[in-house]
Amino acid sequence: MSGRTIISNAIGLKECAIVGMGIALLLHWLIEREIEAGKLIKILPNYEVTATVFDTSAWLVYPCCTYLPLRVKVFIDFFKQHFRLVK
C-alpha cells in the first residue's frame, strides 16, 4: 500500500478515519463508541481479524527520539527489506 500519510499510532489512525482520510484496521474496543455514534462504520462486517495470528504482521518497537543510532536505522532498513520479499 502507498499513500500520502503513514501512521503507526492507532489513535492517530482512528482520528484520520473519523475525518474522512481513508479506511483503517483498528481494534474494536478502541472504536466502539465511534461506531455507536455513527462517526465510523464497519466496511467488512463479515470478516474478523485477530491479533493472535502473526503470519502476516511484524512489529519493530523502539523509542521515539530525535537521534536514532545508526545500527538501529540499519536494522530497520534490513528488516523492512527482508520481510517485504517474504510471501
DSSP assignments along 28-60, one per residue:
HHHHHHHHHTTSS--S-TT----TT--TT----
pLDDT the model gives residue 19: 92
Predicted confidence at residue 35, as pLDDT, reads 94
- Using DSSP's 3-state secondary structure scheme, residue 13 falls into helix
pLDDT along the chain (87 residues), means of 10: 73 91 87 95 81 62 76 86 62
What is the structure's pLDDT at 67?
80
pLDDT of residue 2: 61
* pLDDT on residue 86: 46
